[in-house]
Amino acid sequence: MDVLIIGGNRYFGKRLITRLLDAGHRVTVFNRGSSPAPEGVVPLVADRNDEAALETALAGRTFDVVVDQVCYTPRQADIARRVFAGRTRRYVMTSTVEVYAYEDSATPVTEDVLDLAAQPVDLGLPWEDPAFLEEHYGEGKRQAEAVFAAAGTAFPWASVRVAHVLGGADDFTGRVAHYAERIRSGSPVAVPVVNRPATYVYVEEIAAFLAWAAVGTEFTGPVNAHSHGPLTTADICREIERLVGGRTVFRKVEVGEVSPFSFARAYAMDNSRAEGLGFRFSHSSEWLGTALAETLTASPAETPAGDATEVEV
């Protein structure tokens, strides 16, 4: 198959590209050219936010499927909906668990909890402002999905709602390092008073799922993607303790910033739809130690400090 990937030069996007190439697919990677294209792909360079430049870069090209790793806003989705009309027979958008940011459910949420038909879309918000986009990450993804779901989209589309991702020496978020540093030193780890479990996925597994979603199936609409076995902050810290030594000291806070991997809301996802379509997820207990060890044994250059809101590449 002829696959176009928008973005995706690092983390699980890099693994997705490798899987597709190894399976014999022709892969084109479209990005701004800020990093070199992986070996074996066809590179296309332009700014996806510039509709005219995107049209020019894609002139005369068609694809069996597009995998959009970096659609963060309804404006980007709106441009893509126009530009890719007649250029692809299917479109897969990488979305996020954070589309469920308004949920607080005692049971794992299914895809239909979010009614995309009722989701307001505001193209006029300052989506180009990095600070605004970071603060409204889940909202941007939710509105982007709603744009594709609206009447008039010229191609079948799917959105993969990715859980929190763990693993890899190239995990650039700094979240695992955040915990290891505090556990080693005995510094407090701030968590909500009521700290909810969340769903996670191993970096290799989400790459496998996206490859399957792109070329192994034809489903449409949203699908939740995560391993079985929700994890608590304590589960993750216990494994980090085993790997690096030290002791976790939790500090419960009523208000204020809490550590990554801690959640006051319950919005674990339900992956029944994905499994009903034919994909089989592992259990988090099968890979948690491996995933954390991969990240913790990376060099400092490979795991920069800082807390990214989400991982989408």
* pLDDT at residue 56 greater than cutoff 50: yes
DSSP strand pairing (249-253 vs 221-225): unpaired
* Average predicted confidence (pLDDT) for the chain: 92
Cα 239 from Cα 206, distance rounded (Å) = 21
Among 1-10, 217-226, 239-248, where is mean pLDDT lowest? Answer: 1-10
> What pLDDT does 38 receive?
83
Cα 184 from Cα 37, distance rounded (Å) = 38
* pLDDT at residue 170 greater than cutoff 50: yes
Among 26-40, 140-154, 163-177, 279-293, where is mean pLDDT lowest? Answer: 26-40
> What pLDDT does 109 receive?
96
Reported as a single tens digit per residue, the pLDDT across 291-310 is 999 999 874 433 333 333 34
Please give the single-letter amino acid code of residue 256.
Answer: G
Asked whether the beta carbons of 26 and 2 are under 8 A apart, the reply is yes
Gyration radius of the chain's alpha carbons:
19
Both tokens assigned to 214: 């792109």
* pLDDT at residue 32 greater than cutoff 90: no
Asked whether the beta carbons of 304 and 172 are under 8 A apart, the reply is yes
Sorted by sequence, the CB contacts under 8 Å of residue 265 that are 6+ apart come out as 101, 103, 104, 196
Both tokens assigned to 38: 């992986």
* pLDDT at residue 120 greater than cutoff 90: yes
* pLDDT at residue 73 greater than cutoff 80: yes
**pLDDT (average), residues 92-111:** 94
How many helices, marked H, and strands, marked E, lie in the chain?
A: 10, 11
